[in-house]
Amino acid sequence: MLIAIPQSMHFEAALPLQSGASLRDYDLSFETYGTLNAHKSNTVLICHALNASHHLAGVYEGQPKSKGWWDNMIGPGKPLDTGKFFVIGVNNPGSCFGSTGPMHINPDTGLVYGADFPVVTVEDWVHAQARLLDALGITTLAAVMGGSLGGMQALSWAIQYPKRVRHAVVIASAPNLTAENIAFNEVARRAIVTDPDFHEGNFYQHDTIPKRGLRIARMIGHITYLSDDVMNEKFGRQLRDSVINTVHKNSRAYKYTTQDIEFQIESYLRYQGDKFAEYFDANTYLLITRVLDYFDPAARFGGNLSLALAQVTAKFLLVSFTTDWRFAPKRSREIVKALLDNQRDVSYAEITAQHGHDAFLLDDPHYISVISSYFDRIDQAMGAGA
């Protein structure tokens, strides 16, 4: 098993942010896997989504359960082979897994940031990642890859730093959120912000956590990550417990309760909500859902994505999943079309998969083989000196 070693880097120079604010004296947590080659040409940057971190693959020494979130995809001999590529994962600022975030001290005030942590964007994150690469002496990326919000970062890399990216792999993503996506984010945020334990974001000082709100937020999120089909297959209308039905012996009967768990799906969602509320930061949830809401590279081109991608030079692989209703295939096709409008090199795979948005983290053989083949191609091109 790959042993992962977390690293951290401090940045003295303030990071200017799209909002006009800036972030000073910040740290980024990151991990690297594999070896940088002599030409420094084999780096692959992986961008994480809402709930993930820089810990992509392998486990920490002596912690066998600490498997990275994309361990099925990244490692020796895996689709993204760390025997060939130098892979980097970075925790984004504002997140809650090591890099500077709302739970850390604001150097301007000496107090915990809380709700005062500056609003960040996909573009700000990409800028922060680029600075980290600078510090590591890496100029160009063989590829940048991410799923969902991570895919937005990969797309943004190709727009912001066209000369530094040879390939962008954008999975289960979109060029912006739909109104429905924003709506789900807003409900989750309202659940957190209106939790009396939120204390306007300063719950750290009150020695409490807005767990009610975080649980609701996660339950909503979880429903949107899964497809209707897979929920029906996994849970259907199964009851958790049922009393014996004295009238119809062959049928299960309800307990008739409005507040207790009756169906398996309820039990599953409550468990997911409880688990999440134990480790995820409420201010980070607000920040990262806004990162999603705000991303819209076409906005300053009057909504014309083709114009927004005119400067892009990277080759692209886009992947979507048929049952993903959060980031539906048609959203990936919009990106494909805009790249083709610019006569760019783009591959697109629409994977027939049952698991909805979550499919990008799972082991669908077709999906895995597409990613594997694409990195083989990148590797062969590197070998040929391209």
Phi, psi for residue 251 in degrees, rounded to 5: -110, 150
Enclosing H/E stretch for 47: strand 43-47
- Least Å from the CB of residue 222 to a copy of itself: 8
- The yes-or-no answer on residue 148 being catalytic is yes
- Set 81, 281, 324, 358: catalytic member: 324
Residue 159 vs 265, nearer CB to a copy of itself: 265
At 30 the three-state DSSP class reads: strand
Q: What would you measure as the largest C-alpha separation in the chain, in angstroms?
A: 76
Placement of tokens 């956590």 in the chain: 209
- Least Å from the CB of residue 213 to a copy of itself: 9
- Least Å from the CB of residue 196 to a copy of itself: 6
Residue 65 vs 248, nearer CB to a copy of itself: 248
Closest CA to 316 of 174, 81, 144, 72: 144
Which residues of 173-290 form beta strands (DSSP E)? 243-244, 252-253
Q: Is there a contact between 30 and 132 (Cβ–Cβ < 8 Å)?
A: yes
- The yes-or-no answer on residue 281 being catalytic is no
- Least Å from the CB of residue 282 to a copy of itself: 10
Residue 364: how many CB atoms within 10 A of its CB? 16
Give the residues lining the site for a copy of itself (CB under 8 A): 18-21, 115, 119, 176-180, 182-184, 186-187, 189-191, 193-196, 201, 212, 215-216, 219-220, 223, 226, 228, 231-232, 234-237, 245, 248, 250-252, 254, 256-259, 262-263, 265-266, 269-270, 273, 283, 286-287, 289-290, 293-294, 296, 299-300, 302, 325
Residue 60 vs 235, nearer CB to a copy of itself: 235
* Phi-psi group of 58: left, alpha or beta (phi > 0 → left; psi -120 to 50 → alpha; rest → beta): left
Q: Is there a contact between 129 and 141 (Cβ–Cβ < 8 Å)?
A: no
Residue 270 vs 337, nearer CB to a copy of itself: 270
Residue 58 vs 201, nearer CB to a copy of itself: 201
Q: Is there a contact between 119 and 17 (Cβ–Cβ < 8 Å)?
A: yes
- The yes-or-no answer on residue 206 being catalytic is no
Residue 228 vs 241, nearer CB to a copy of itself: 228
d(CA 341, CA 320) in angstroms, rounded, equals 20
- Set 95, 99, 148, 320: catalytic member: 148
- Least Å from the CB of residue 183 to a copy of itself: 5
d(CA 58, CA 72) in angstroms, rounded, equals 9
- Set 95, 281, 357, 358: catalytic member: 357
- Least Å from the CB of residue 253 to a copy of itself: 9
Please list the active-site residues. 148, 324, 357
